[in-house]
Each structure stands twice: as structure tokens, then as C-alpha cells.
A and B are shown apart, each in its own frame.
Chain A
Amino acid sequence: MNDEMTYWLLGRLDWQALPFLRAWNHPALSELIAAAAGGLVVLGALAVAVLLTVYRGWGPLWRDWLTSLDHKKIGIMYIVIAGIMLARAVVEAALIRLQQALAVNDAGIVTAEHFGELFSTHGTIMIFFMAMPFLTGVINYVMPLQIGARDMSFPWMNAISLMLTAAGAGLVMISLVVGKFSTGGWTGYPPYTGIEFSPGVGVDYWIWAVTLSSLGSTLTGINFATTLYKNRAPGMELFRLPLFCWTALCTSILMIFAMVPLTVATLMLALDRYAGFHFFTAGSGGNMMNYANLFWLFGHPEVYILILPAFGIYSEVIATFSGKTLYGYRSLVYATMVIAVLSFTVWLHHFFTMGQGANLNAVFGVATMAIGVPTGVKVYDWLLTMYRGRIRLTTGMLFSVAFLVTFVIGGLTGVILANPPVDFAVHNSLFLVAHFHNMLIPGLLFGMIAGVQFWFPKAFGFRLDERWGKAAFWCWFGGFYLAFMPLYALGLMGAMRRSSQWFEPQYVPYLLTALAGAALILAGLACLFIQLWVSVRNRDRLAAPLGDPWDGRGLEWSVSSPPPEYNFAMLPQVRSHDDFWEAKQDGRAYREPKRYEDIEMPRNSATAPLIGLAAAAFGFAITWQIWWLVALSFTGIWVIVIVRSFQQDIARVIPAREVAAKERAWLAEVESARPVDRFAETTRQNRGLAEVSP
């Protein structure tokens, strides 16, 4: 086969793309690590395939999960993706710490290029394939239940969003096995990521993975916002929404507007790289500073896309485990809105040092500091919610309290960084790295973990093991401080981020402390997975099928666990904020509906996973320049969409009879159950029926 033919068929693919071959040819430690990572992906995929085959799981996986349009299942699948990606990115973080700790006057364990791949994938994954799927998954699961809806406004689009995200995540995973990932960081600044300085496939992998996931997120934002606007149960006025829904609404509005500049930036970068355009090139009239501008037009609102849902989760968790209604509900709502709008006015603070005038920097610096005000309001609201509450320190609550303390420290360093002259001094140093980890670990990850601890019994009908949960908490909490506090000091000492080697022996104690912190975080991650394993094994002892294990306040607790496919046998009539809690007080809860009706739910559809598959093929093909596959997969996606628009039979009816049987069985179980005291909720007695206390 001649070269032209090979290119036509396989694009830029060749054997050297495989890390195993590279490691065989140059058995250096760095290459061996890459081969091991690639091997882990292959073995992991094989293991899953074997297990599915042995346990005959392919059929159920396809029928019950991949083709499902049920928002609850889609939410769970999002969280599964987030969990897998979290594991990978935390391991990478530990490797980064290990390299930096070992590489003082030494080469360390990986080459500079491999180190570049490590921090690029770590950042890209944590933002786009851990944080985004995680919060999207939690909102997907919880929000329709909280507003008293049976599904999203656009269930099919919901599945497509999931599959696009999955396709992007798949591309990042494939890059471990075929070729190399970008070394340009999660921000991918040109000109370094231009074709001149990064001719390989790495940046292309990054571009298409990020583009697919951001398209998915835009669609998700549209879906959430429409659902929250149009699908609320009767009586669920906007100011009766649980705070989590408010944060979901603000996040979705940010998604709608903020993902677009990112898509524009990545598309322009792609045109520069593939077609010789000059958006961001160094010469010929390109303006690379506009890339930073466009990227952070997205990037700053993105910070709030990530943080707001966690704020919502904390509001729910703190109110529930303090046994009080949320303090300052309205102020929290307004603070959320103000944060959402202000988040569009501060993007320049990510590039204070790029050369614009002092006045411009000052304006954006002041706007940045202003965001601290509504955030401060929220912190006080949460503190006052706990004040005089009868607090139960469950795992979720522990994470929430740790968040409050830690997040305030991060916010403080943020206000410091908002001062342009200070920023000039510590810009791009480990001080910055410490700052944003200090925001995002408590401000996103702790929140998501708390959310999982809180709503897991809702989704699966059994609680998570508290002992392992608390172990995980202490590891994460201690690990965080050990890992990131030294980075503040290092940054002030002059250590720049993304350095693969050092020449300052005085860094060593700090780097070793941070390494210990990374190890502890790794242990925390392990504890979470062990917790899941142990809980599944003990699921009978932990079962809480009646639906309300924590004496909950929102509508999501008013149905069985797991909820039926249609969520509510009868759409609830909402009378107030904290409706279910008040219903329990008034004895309105657990009443049988007067009559049952047929419920129409969307039928499963194979089109969404097919579109995801085609999108992944598109991303892979265009990365490797396999043009026939690019054309085929792109056309394929649109053909599937059009074919779907001709389908008529897309809904199926659940007969009233079936609904009634299910509902009555559950209500009978509730009737015969013994309610559990709030302070015994982590014991075996907790079957999910809370004792009503005055």
C-alpha cells in the first residue's frame, strides 16, 4: 500500500501512535508509565466487556440504561462518567505531585513532555469530564423530582447531551491508548497550541473532546432552563423552588450563554490548525490575545457553573441536617442571581498581566472583589441556618461544614488575587494553583460528594455506609490542607505552575508535604469507592425504600426510593416552600391520590447512543485526519436526527392500573413501618420513614 493510499484510509494513524510500541522501543520510565496507563485503559475496557458478557449484562445495559430517556438514569450515567474520570484525574494529580517532589535538581520520573500531558489531561478532565458531568448528573437526577415533574422538557435531547459528553470523555481516554494528548494545559493557549508549535494530534484531541462536551453542555443548559420554567408542578411558584433548583436555573443560564464563546474559540483554533486561518497565529494579523479573551469569556462563568450547584446542594444538606428551614431563602436566591450576572463581568482577571492598561485592570479587579459580597451573604445564611439547629453530623454534613471553612480561605486568597498589582507578583505561580484548587475542591467536589451521600438513598433505595464515608471525609479534608497549603507558600517563594523540574532545594519540604497530601487524597478517593462497595454488599441492612431517610424537606423525598419511572403518581399540588416537610407536619403526606390516570412517558430510543457513537467517531477521525470517516460520521449524526423526526411512536403509556398497584404497595409499606427518630437515622432502624417532630 502506498503512502497516499494509507493516508486516505487511516489519516495520520501509524504504529508509533501506540504507547506500548513506544515503550518497547525506548524503555524509559516515562514511556513505561505511559504504556501502563494505556494498558490500564485497555484492560479496564476488556474487564468491563468480559464481566458484561459473563453476567449477560449487554442486553440490560442497552435496554435499561444506554437507550433510556429517563432523567434519573441519565443522571446516574453522568455521575458514573464523572466517577471514572475523577479516578483517572486524581491519579494524574498524584503523579504530578510525585514528579514535582522528586524533580528538585533531578529529572524526576517523567519527561517534560509527558508532564505536560499530565497537567493538561488533569485540568481538562477535572473541569470538562469530572465537574461538568457530575453537576449535570446531580441536577438531572434531583431537579425534576424537586419541582414535581415527571421528566425533563426534552428527554431525547437530554440523552444526546449525555452521549456527547460521553463521546468527549471517550476521546480523552482513547488518547491514552492511541497517540498523545495535548501539552498545552486545560486552557490550550495559542500560539503554543497552534500548528507551528504543536504539530501532533494532542491539541486536536483536546479541541474535539472539549468541543463535543461543550456542545452537550449548551444543550443541557437549554433543557434545564426550559424544564425549570415550564415543567414545574402546579403551585410550585419560582419563589417556592428549593434552593438547589435556583442554583440549577442560574447554572443553566450560564451554560446557555457561556459555553458558546468556548465553542467559538476552539472552532477558530481548529480552523487555524487545519485550514491555515489566522485567528490566533503570531503573524498575518492573528490576535492570540483574543483567544485568552474568548476562552475566559467562557472560563469565568464556568467557575460559577461549577460552584453554584454545589451551593445549592449545601443549602439542602445544611437545612436538612440542621432540622431547620433555610435561613434567608430570598437573600440566597438574590445572591445566586447576582453572582450569575456578575460572573460575566470579571473575565479579564484571568489575564491581568496581558498588557492592557491599568484602568481596565482596575475596573475588572473591582468587579471581581464585588462578587465576594453576595458570596459572603451566602456563607452567613448557611451559618445562620445551622445556628441553634439540632445538627446531625452525617458524612454529607461534614463535607458541608468543611466546605464553609475551607471555601472562605479560598475566597480570601481570591480577593487578594483580584488586586492587579498583587496578581502581577503571583500570576502563574503555585499560589494561583493553590487558590483555584481551594475554590473548586470545597466549592465543587465536596459539594458533589455531599450530594451523593445525601441523595444516594433516594436513587438506589439504600443508604451509604457512614463509617467509610467519614473515613473518606477525613482523608479528603486533611489531604486537601496538606496538599494545597504548601502550594501557597511555594507560590510566594516563586515556584511557577506547570514546572516539571526545580533547582531550589528549599522547596523540598513543602513539596514533600504536598505529596503526602496527595497520597491522603488518593486514600480518600479509595475510601469513597470502598464505601460504595461495602454499601452495595450491605444493602439490605442499609435499605431505606420508603423514601425519606433524612427527614427531608423537598418533594423528592415524598416518593419511594428509588422513585418510580414516572416520579409522581399524581402531580403534586405545592402550597409552600419546603412543601413536603410541612405536609408531614400537617399530616398531608403519604395520602393516596383520589384517582389514578394513565401516564405517558417517552419510549427508549437507540438514536441517542448512536449519535454519541457517531460523534466519538467524528472526533477521532478528525483528530487523525481520516477524512472519509469524518464525512461519514458527520452525515450520520444528521441522518439519525432527521430519521428520528419521522418517528411517530415515541411515547408509551403506563396504565393507571399499574401506577395504582405500585403506589398502593408503597403506601401500605409506609403504613406498616415504624418511623425513625432523626438521631437514629444512621442506624439500621432507618427504613426511610421519618418521625414527625414538632
Chain B
Amino acid sequence: MNDDRFPDSELPGHGRELRHYLTGAAVTLTLTLAAFGIVWLSVLPRYWTLGVVSVLAVLQIVAHFRYFLHIDLGKSHRDDLLMILFTSLIIVMMVGGTIWILFNQFARMM
């Protein structure tokens, strides 16, 4: 291996990052299994199930960003994090508003 190209300081990074990915795989897999399991076994009442799988989904999305997309609270990712948070805000407003408006209209048509 050419030292000029691959400074020594980066070499241990490989193992660390590999662990990072594998941890991510384990976390997301667990969350997926939990979500499917809860619905499959229908252990909870419907509205509880919906709430729990929604929370699990949010957690899993955070895990994807954390482990696979390498977005963390580090300073170097501040721009990207802000962008993702701003997008989340826009999405919450758009999706929340849409659902609110359409369900309200529907209720008043009944």
C-alpha cells in the first residue's frame, strides 16, 4: 500500500467505520423487526400500534441518517444537519397541514 495515498491516520478508520455500518445494520434491523412484530402479533390496540410503529419509524429514519448517511452533531455536518432539520420542518407543515385541512373538510361534508 502506498503511504503517500493512504496516510496512516486513516487506516484504523476502516475498522471503526466498518463497526459503524454494522452497528447501523443491527439497529435498523432491530427496529424493523420490532415494528413488524408488533403489527404481526397484534399485541396492542390499533391506535397504540399506530403510535408505536410511527415512533419506531422516526427512530429508524434517524438511525439511517446517523449510521448510513453519516449525519451527526459534529461541527462539520452542521450545514447538512440544519438543512435536514429545515426540510423536516417544511415536511411537517406540509403533511400536517394537508391532513388537517382534508380531514376537516371531509368531516364537515358528512
A and B touch in their complex, CB below 8 angstroms: yes
Interface residues of A (CB under 8 A from B): 229, 257, 261, 287, 289-290, 293-294, 297, 344-345, 347-348, 354-357, 360
Question: Given the complex, which residues of A lie within 8 Å of B93, measured CB to CB?
Answer: 344-345
Q: Is B32 an interface residue (CB 8 A)?
A: no
Contact A290 B102 (CB under 8 A): yes
Question: Judging by beta carbons under 8 Å apart, are B108 and A293 in contact?
Answer: no
Given contacts A229-B79, A354-B105, contact A261 B94 (CB under 8 A): yes
* A257 proximity list for chain B (CB < 8 A): 87, 90
CA distance A257 to B83 in the complex (A): 12
Chain A residues closer than 8 Å to B104, beta-carbon distance = 356-357, 360
The reply on B11 being an interface residue by CB < 8 A is: no
CA distance A257 to B109 in the complex (A): 31
B100 contacts A by Cβ under 8 Å: yes
Q: Which B-chain residue is minimally distant from A292 (CB atoms)?
A: B101
Q: Which 7 A-B pairs have the closest CB atoms?
A: A356-B104, A356-B105, A257-B90, A344-B93, A360-B104, A355-B105, A357-B104
Contact A356 B98 (CB under 8 A): no
B33-73 to A contact mask, C-beta < 8 Å, 1/0: 00000000000000000000000000000000000000000
Q: Choose from B87, B94, B109 the contact partner of A297 (Cβ within 8 Å).
A: B94
With A229-B79, A356-B105 as contacts: A344 and B100 at CB distance below 8 Å: no
Q: Nearest chain B CB to A296's CB is how many angstroms away?
A: 10
Chain B residues bordering chain A, tally (CB within 8 A): 14
In whole angstroms, how far apart are the Cα atoms of A360 and B101 in the complex? 8
CB distance from B23 to the nearest CB of A (A): 31
Contact with A along B67-110 (1 / 0, CB 8 A): 00000000000010000000100100110011011101100110
Contacts of A293 in B (CB 8 A): 98, 101-102
* Chain B residues within 8 Å of A344, by CB: 90, 93-94
- Give Cα distance in the complex from A355 to B100, angstroms: 13
A533 and B97 alpha carbons, distance in the complex (Å): 50
Q: Roughly how many angstroms separate A287 CA and B109 CA in the complex, as a whole number?
A: 12
CA distance A372 to B41 in the complex (A): 53
Cβ contact within 8 Å between B101 and A348: yes
**What residue in chain B is nearest A354 (Cβ atoms)?**
B105
Q: From residue A324, how far is it (CB to closest CB) to chain B in Å?
A: 33
Q: How far is the CA of A575 from the CA of B78 in the complex (A)?
A: 25
Minimum CB–CB distance from B104 to chain A (whole Å) comes to: 5
Q: How far is the CA of A344 from the CA of B109 in the complex (A)?
A: 26
| Shortest beta-carbon distance from A286 to chain B in Å | 12
User: How far in angstroms is the closest Cβ of chain A from B29?
Assistant: 31
Q: Are B101 and A356 in contact (CB under 8 A)?
A: yes
Chain B residues contacting A348 (CB-CB under 8 Å) are: 97, 101
Residues of chain B within 8 A (CB-CB) of A357 are 104, 108
Quote the shortest CB–CB distance from B32 to chain A (angstroms).
28
Complex-state Cα separation, A360 to B105, whole angstroms: 10
What residue of chain A has the Cβ atom nearest to residue B98's Cβ?
A: A293
Taking a contact as CB atoms closer than 8 A, the residue among A229, A345, A355 that contacts B109 in the complex is A355
Knowing that A293-B101, A345-B93 touch, tell me 8 more A-B residue pairs with CB under 8 angstroms: A294-B98, A297-B97, A347-B97, A354-B105, A355-B105, A355-B108, A355-B109, A357-B108
Task: Report how far A357 CA is from B106 CA in the complex, Å.
Answer: 10
Chain B residue at minimum C-beta to C-beta distance from A341? B89
Give Cα A229–Cα B78 distance, bound, in whole angstroms: 13
Find chain B residues with CB under 8 A from A356 CB: 101, 104-105, 108
The CA of A109 and the CA of B97, in the complex, are separated in Å by: 44
| Complex interface: chain A residues within 8 A of B105 (CB) | 289, 354-356
Distance between B15 CB and nearest chain A CB, rounded to angstroms? 32
Closest to A261 in B: B94
Would you give the shortest CB distance from A223 to chain B, in whole angstroms?
15
Q: In whole Å, how far is A344's beta carbon from the nearest beta carbon of chain B?
A: 5
A272 vs B26: C-alpha distance when bound (angstroms): 42
B108 contacts across to A, CB distance below 8 A: 355-357
Cα distance A294–B97 in the bound complex, in angstroms: 11
For B79, the closest partner residue in chain A by CB is A229
Shortest Cβ distance from B99 into chain A, in angstroms? Answer: 10
Residues of A with C-beta under 8 A to B79 = 229
Q: Could you show 10 A-B contacts with beta carbons less than 8 Å apart?
A: A257-B90, A289-B102, A289-B105, A294-B98, A297-B94, A344-B90, A348-B97, A348-B101, A355-B108, A360-B100
Contact B98 A297 (CB under 8 A): yes
Alpha-carbon gap, A360 to B90, bound state (A)? 19
A357 to B94, CA, bound (A): 18
Give B83 Cβ to nearest chain A Cβ, in Å: 9
